[in-house]
Structure 1
Amino acid sequence: QLLPIAAEQLQWMPYVNPKLHMPMIKFIYWSIRQLDTDIQHGTMRSTMRRLGEDIFKGIVSKGSPDSSSEQSTESKSKSAAFFKSSCMPLRFLSTLIVLKTLTQVDYLAQAFDSLRVDLKTNEGKALFLEYRCVPVVLSHLKVSSRGLLSSALDGFLEMTMESGSSQPFLEACSNESFFRTCSVLLQSSKLDIPVLEKLCVILQKLSRIKSNKMMFELFALHQMLQELRRTINPDHTFLCINLNSILLNLELLKNNSLASSLST
């Protein structure tokens, strides 16, 4: 019930102190996270789309809210930027809202580009953890949208880079939802090699966590990876190395077998 009101309040953001923009966007983000967008009725979907588009494009208004229409036309326009803000926390949250509310591929592609750039910084990685972003990005790991799939994996790859955020990120991925999604992806015959490489890098990092062995087995990932290793062209060296490393971590490949496969 509050989100339609929030959508209306966004229109007034050019007239309020910019310091109030962040609390407003934060409220919208956490409200959206509480909703299951798949079961909303038409009115709510429309509200979500409007929120996403306004946050993506920003709000531009002419004149002050108290001025007459004639005065308003002559007044200097005011604007409030969210997704295109120079303030990283505001831009980061706005990016997440775009990823949660919009379906247009061009908007989502720009959102993932922005996310990837921000995740190259320690501040961006910390924000990713603070706002519990794994489910937001995970929802875009679908074979049906290959371009976005690769972009979503790029975001996850940035989080696996050695930093103080990498281990908490991997722990946030160590759940049934994440492994189920990976299982669905690996069952597809439509994944190209670059996507497989990115996915296996992430799985290799996750396979280092001993408790995740159960997750690999629960969703039969270990069997899929064994079959992939058996059938993959050995010329795809990087992919083969990661597959071998995963299977070694899962105790499904002996060290001497690994050495033999790498030497061939």
Structure 2
Amino acid sequence: MSEENKKMEIQAKRVQARLDNLQRKYAFMTVQRLKANSHAAHETKSLKQEKVPASKTYKVPPNAQVYELLTVFMDWISDYHLRRLRSEEPGTDGEKLQLQLASQRNEIQERCVKLLPTMTEQLQWMPCVSARLHEPFAKFIYWSLRQLEAGALHSTMTATLRRLGEDIFRGVVTKGTQDTSLEHSLENKPKTAAFFRSSHLPLRFLSTLIVLKTVTQADYLAQAFDSLCLDLKTDEGKILFLEYQAVPVILSHLRISSKGLLPNVIDSLLQMTVESKSLQPFLDACSNTLFFRTCSVLLRAPKLDLQILEKLSIILQKLSKIKSNKKLFELFTLHLMLQEIQRTTHPEHAFLCINLNSTLFNLGLTKCGPLAPAAGH
């Protein structure tokens, strides 16, 4: 019996040892499985953190060439279609051709009205694309706005244009992701698309003109004209002014109701009268009914500021040298207004008197020649 008991004890110990081993193995495997699950969950979470912000924040197609292709099309459409603006001058084309051109303009305007809200929305993603693509984008917007000058502005466009102008003025900032890990630290930095405040003159100039076309806040407009005057002191700025046919944009603000802005407006025009290669093309751009009508309305305003009058007289004196402009002076009775101003101006305002006398002499309305040529500023 004792031997059997010993055998049973030995067998029981072996079974217990085996059971202990199995329990330890089970416990070890359980811990390993939990660790593996935890690691997998962490990886899944990290992967989600990487993917979600990228898609939500930027939404930019991985193929950047799509944007480059679009800007090529924008340049093409801007240069060969949108920049061809309707002229106010009476044409010699037949009635049938005039109707055809009017129909084409209406179609272009309808397309511009449809596109501008989308373009305004797309401004929010400009920080995410190459900065060199911003200029074609702004150019397309500018010429679309210019196309709308000739037609009745759709009532629903008012809010769109206001937002467009404000975004161009302030610039657009796109926030980065919320991931705080080191590997995403670069993505966390906000990306900015500066338009009106760009250091690149062509983009800044275009943006300034867009602001002048869309914004109504006096402080924004004052800053825009200040920027424009500075840029027009450069030859490149003058060339851009002519390239973007900016005279009508400026004339829309040359009115007595914009009294606070008038000095800025007239200064921007005066910058273009400085002797340069751009002077004659600028004078040609002013030799039309729109310019002379605007000046006529302004000169009819009572108690026009003397400095405004002096600066305007410089431009009119230079325009009076172009013989074909005589009929425009007469059409809007500017010659009569200038004669009346000359008659009532005190002799101590010599600069104004000289310019008026020179202008009237060029128009063949006085026998005495000018005492001195009109000065710049």
The interval holding the TM-score normalised by the smaller chain is over 0.9
Aligned to 1:249: 362
1:37 Cα deviation after fit: 8.6
Number of aligned positions between the proteins:
254
Aligned to 1:101: 214
CA shift digits 1:167-198 (9 cap, x unpaired): 00000000011000111111111311000001
Identity of matched residues, %: 65
1:149 Cα deviation after fit: 1.6
User: Gapped runs of 5+ residues in structure 1?
Assistant: 260-264
Aligned to 2:160: 47
Q: 2:328 and 2:232 mapped to 1: Cα distance?
A: 27
SS, match of residue 84 in structure 1: coil
Write the letter of the residue equivalent to 1:121: T
Cα pair 1:126 1:165 within 8 Å, conserved? yes
Q: 1:204 and 1:36 mapped to 2: Cα distance?
A: 29
Q: 1:149 aligns with which of 258, 262, 265?
A: 262
1:81 Cα deviation after fit: 0.3
SS, match of residue 124 in structure 1: helix
Superposed, which structure 2 residues align to 1:62-101 within 5 Å?
A: 62-63=175-176, 75-101=188-214
Superposed, which structure 2 residues align to 1:205-224 within 5 Å?
A: 205-224=318-337
Moved more, 102-111 or 184-193: 184-193
SS, match of residue 257 in structure 2: coil
Write the letter of the residue equivalent to 1:184: V
Aligned to 1:19: 132
Query: Quick check: 1:173 aligned with 2:309?
Result: no
CA shift digits 1:68-111 (9 cap, x unpaired): x5569981111010000000000000000000000100000000
Q: Which has the larger radius of gyration?
A: 2
Superposed, which structure 2 residues align to 1:215-234 within 5 Å?
A: 215-234=328-347
Query: Quick check: 1:182 aligned with 2:286?
Result: no
Superposed, which structure 2 residues align to 1:95-134 within 5 Å?
A: 95-134=208-247
Q: 2:353 and 2:269 mapped to 1: Cα distance?
A: 20
Could you tell me the TM-score, scaled by structure 1's length?
A: 0.92
Write the letter of the residue equivalent to 1:186: L
Aligned to 1:9: 122
Aligned to 1:32: 145
Aligned to 2:276: 163
Q: 1:147 and 1:202 mapped to 2: Cα distance?
A: 20
CA RMSD of aligned residues (A): 1.7
1:61 Cα deviation after fit: 1.2
1:39 Cα deviation after fit: 3.4
Q: Which runs of 4+ in 1 moved over 3 A?
A: 36-39, 69-74
User: Gapped runs of 5+ residues in structure 2?
Assistant: 1-113, 372-377
Aligned to 1:198: 311
Q: 2:159 and 2:147 mapped to 1: Cα distance?
A: 17
